[in-house]
Amino acid sequence: MATTVKIPIKDQNLVSSLQDFFKAMLRDGGINGLMVAQHLPTKNSVMPTLVTDPDKLDTADPLAPVFPINAAKVVSKLTRKPLGGKVAVVLRPCEIRAFIELVKLKQGRVDDVVLIGMDCLGAYSNVQYPDFAGDNGMEATLRFYRNIQEGKGTACDGFDVSPACKACEHPIPENADVLIGLVGVDLKDHLLAKANTPRGEELLENLGLSSTSEPEKRGKEIEKLVTERLSYRDQMFVETSEATADVGKLVSYLGNCVNCYNCRVACPVCYCKECVFLTDVFDHEPSQYLRWAKRKGILKMPTDTVFFHLTRIAHMSTACIGCGQCSNACPNNIPVMELFRTMAHYTQTAFDYVAGRSLEDDPPLSVFREDEFQEVVAKSH
Amino acid sequence: MSDFEPTIIAFVCNWCTYTAADLAGTSRLTQPPNVRMIRMMCTGMVDPKYVIKALLEGADAVLISGCHPGDCHYINGNLKARRRVKLLKEILPRFGFDQRRVKLTWIGASEGIDFANTMNELVAEVKELGPNEVRKQMVI
């Protein structure tokens, strides 16, 4: 039976109560550090911070509805070699799932980290969040959750969470060591903390929190949330497939791409250390452009945009966890996430794979079997 | 019959299909001139982007051909290629490329006749299919 405890809510303040929990964890949880998103004085957003001093958690706010980076990328940096200590990392479900993909690609290790996952109700885009938050980020977080508790959903003050979050069927961090539960929990009184693994148990056991069990309505509310998101997701698949159904449509869908490669940089699972699109393979001879142009009398510049996106789909769509950072990073508002999630759904289904589900599932293109996919081999005569 | 002459790019492995092609040539078997062969050390090194690039540049079909399963000079490169072809056949048709424009075959070093027959059939099939849509579009 997994340990489930209550994180008490003081003064109806979710954010400060969580901070107290993290402080206690850093003091008594047997860890050397904690990585958690914080509001920083310089900028009106949150960024992951690696904290070793419990007094430096006063602006920690993993509930803020924004994540400017998929933190799997920084956890990968922390864990590519032995860390020399144990660090608890507070992540969204999509960040945990991305990290699991990176571990399978040998770009991170789970040995030195305890994964703390928060139920995720979604995030606003990087561009919208500062307007929503104004100059008091932590107050804005409370506003966001009050809105949800009042049954008004995630749309608040004319802003709403990003399409990636609306289409995300994984709001619960099932594969975290410690799950912090919000959905179906009486947030006026407490948050839920549940240890899913021995590592999680160890972290929670010395914090002196009173044990409880998952409220009955939690299961139903999760089911309702997932159903809503699946229906948004499936509609998105249909619309995106329609909008890119032939090459002409795909070209116009990606028409605003300027080869900035921000989507690739922001993508937590675009795993190549050196992207081929940055190598001299793509420093074409100037005369080559003229030859291309002559072929049809006109050449769109910059070149290689559709090629870039199709290659990225072939390379990483089986690892796509749908965090939507690609769309977040696009300067020209191309619905990148919609395209990649849709294609990822098809490629992952083809290999009976779900990215981020488990360390046990092999990435589809890293393995093969002798007798499989005979249907793609044509007969020779 | 139309006068459409397709362009077909073939990535063939050094050890089996290229050798079969050589045999077909030295045996003076008749083959269509539409197939442009690119010799790879193994089909296992055919990155999906090679196929995507060929199709985006206007190739009417792409053939990947290597050793029969169990015969790979590098033990299992052809089985890796098969997964990649599976992936491509999942992706490309969703953007309007007929899945018959990507083909994978196993042709062993001694199968010169099979090679010539396969090329003849492939060209006939692609002629039926007609030109790749991309030829009309401005894509790179």
Q: Do A378 and B104 touch (CB under 8 A)?
A: yes
Which residues on chain A are in Cβ contact (under 8 Å) with B82? 368, 372-373, 376-377
Name residues whose C-beta falls within 8 Å of residue A362's C-beta, 6 or more positions apart in sequence. A104
The answer to whether residue B2 is domain-embedded is: no
At residue A40's C-alpha, the angle toward residues A5 and A322, to 5°, is 65
Q: Do A320 and A344 meet the contact criterion of CB atoms below 8 Å apart?
A: yes
The pair of structure tokens assigned to A202 is: 């160890």
Range of the domain at B108: 8-136
Q: In b/e form, how buried is each residue of A223-250, taking b as 16+ CB within 10 angstroms?
A: eebbeebeebbeebbeebbeebeebbeb
The answer to whether residue B67 is domain-embedded is: yes
**CATH number of the domain within which B78 lies:** 3.40.50
B10 vs chain A: nearest CA distance in angstroms? 14
The answer to whether residue B76 is domain-embedded is: yes
In this prediction, the answer to ipTM > 0.90 reads yes
Question: Judged by CB atoms within 8 Å, which residues 24-63 of B form the interface with A?
Answer: 48-49, 52-53, 56, 58
Of B84, B97, B139, the CB nearest to A251: B139
Of B87, B104, B134, the CB nearest to A347: B87
Structure confidence at residue A218 (pLDDT): 96
Q: Do A103 and A89 meet the contact criterion of CB atoms below 8 Å apart?
A: no
Q: Which of A143-152, A289-298, B108-117, B131-140 has the lowest mean pLDDT?
A: B131-140
Structure confidence at residue A2 (pLDDT): 78
Q: How many domains does chain B have?
A: 1
Strands B8-13 and B61-66: parallel
The answer to whether residue B80 is domain-embedded is: yes
Cβ of residue A10 closer than 8 Å to a chain B Cβ = no
A99 vs chain B: nearest CA distance in angstroms? 23
Closest residue in A to B63 (Cα–Cα): A378
The pair of structure tokens assigned to B131 is: 């030109």
Strands A178-181 and A190-195: antiparallel
Q: How many CB pairs under 8 A join A and B?
A: 125
For residue range B48-101, list pLDDT tens digits in order.
Answer: 999 999 999 999 999 999 999 999 999 999 999 999 999 999 999 999 999 999
The answer to whether residue B3 is domain-embedded is: no
Structure confidence at residue A345 (pLDDT): 98
Please tell me the distance from the alpha carbon of residue B60 to that of residue A54, in angstroms, as a whole number: 63
Query: B2 falls in which pLDDT band (50, 70, 90)?
Result: low
The answer to whether residue B1 is domain-embedded is: no
Q: Do A46 and A40 meet the contact criterion of CB atoms below 8 Å apart?
A: yes
Please tell me the distance from the alpha carbon of residue A161 to that of residue A328, in angstroms, as a whole number: 12
What mean pLDDT is reported for chain B? 95
Cβ of residue B116 closer than 8 Å to a chain A Cβ = no
**Residue tagged 């078997």 (tokens):** B29
The answer to whether residue B50 is domain-embedded is: yes
Of A246, A295, A303, the CB nearest to B95: A246
B80 vs chain A: nearest CA distance in angstroms? 6
Structure confidence at residue B140 (pLDDT): 65
Sheet of A87-91, strand order: A4-8, A190-195, A178-181, A113-118, A87-91, A33-40, A43-51
Structure confidence at residue A219 (pLDDT): 96
The answer to whether residue B103 is domain-embedded is: yes
Structure confidence at residue A42 (pLDDT): 73
**In tens digits, what is the pLDDT along chain A, a chain of 381 residues?**
579 999 999 999 999 999 999 999 999 999 999 999 999 887 788 999 999 999 999 999 999 999 999 999 999 999 999 999 999 999 999 999 999 999 999 999 999 999 999 999 999 999 999 999 998 999 999 999 999 999 899 999 999 999 999 999 999 999 999 999 999 999 999 999 999 999 999 999 989 899 999 999 999 999 999 999 999 999 999 999 999 999 999 999 999 999 999 999 999 999 999 999 999 999 999 999 999 999 989 999 999 999 999 999 999 999 999 999 999 999 999 999 999 999 999 999 999 999 999 999 999 999 999 999 999 999 877
A360, burial (CB in 10 Å: exposed 0-12, middle 13-18, buried 19+): exposed
Please tell me the distance from the alpha carbon of residue B95 to that of residue B97, in angstroms, as a whole number: 6
Query: B139 falls in which pLDDT band (50, 70, 90)?
Result: confident
B1 vs chain A: nearest CA distance in angstroms? 24
Cβ of residue B114 closer than 8 Å to a chain A Cβ = yes
